[in-house]
Structure 1
Amino acid sequence: MNRRDALVQVIECLHAEIAALKANDSRALERATSAKLGHIDMVAACDGEPMTDEMRALAHEAQRLNETARIYVNLMAANVRRRLQSLAGQAVTPYRATAFA
């Protein structure tokens, strides 16, 4: 498999991860993540191939989708934390963005 094909597969796996996150399907998430990691290894194995504009665009798309998946995970974690705080009788603090220096 060449780098381009591996990047396309990474993108497909990221779409599957996002769909699994939206559906709260942990088994599908595990399968998609495992497949994604395998394809990332394939991308890394093609390190000697020159980067084309198409491959840069595919890598950028993969990064964008990975960021989207990260945001879903963070939102889900925040919701779980708030729910656990509520169940424990702790004051639930509203979300507020914090600035990092």
Structure 2
Amino acid sequence: MTRHDALIRVIEALHAEIAALKTNDVAALERATREKLIGIEAVGAANDDDPALSGELRALAEEAHRLNESCRIYVNLMAANVRRRLTALTGNDLPSYRPGLAGGYG
């Protein structure tokens, strides 16, 4: 598999990850993440250093990076929503656990 093909695979998997995140489809998210990781390994394993493709490869890599950042932001927003809902449900406004700050044994 060429780097170009592997990057296309990563981009397609990232689109699938975003769709799965939006619909809360855990099975689809697992599939998309597995495909993304396989694609990333293929990018690293490819050794087709054709300089003619370097500009196109850079553009594909930038697109993959942008999509990955979108996934990261979406996951962080979902985590914040869960945290906020749990706080509202429990009525517990205690700060999050932070190791080493709550006192120690001694």
TM-score (norm 1): 0.86
Cα distance, 1:46 vs structure 2 = 1.5
CA RMSD of aligned residues (A): 1.7
Q: 1 CA distance for matches of 2:64 and 2:13?
A: 10
Cα distance, 1:90 vs structure 2 = 2.0
Task: Say if 2:22 is the partner of 1:22.
Answer: yes
The residue number in structure 1 matching 2:7 is: 7
Amino acid at match of 1:19: A
Percentage of identical aligned residues: 63
Q: 1 CA distance for matches of 2:50 and 2:81?
A: 43
Cα distance, 1:47 vs structure 2 = 4.7
List alignment gaps of at least 5 residues for structure 2: 95-106
TM-score (norm 2): 0.82
Amino acid at match of 2:73: I
Moved more, 68-77 or 40-49: 40-49
List alignment gaps of at least 5 residues for structure 1: 93-101
Q: Which one has the largest radius of gyration?
A: 2
Q: Is the 8 A contact 2:3 2:48 kept in 1?
A: no
How many residue pairs match? The answer is 93
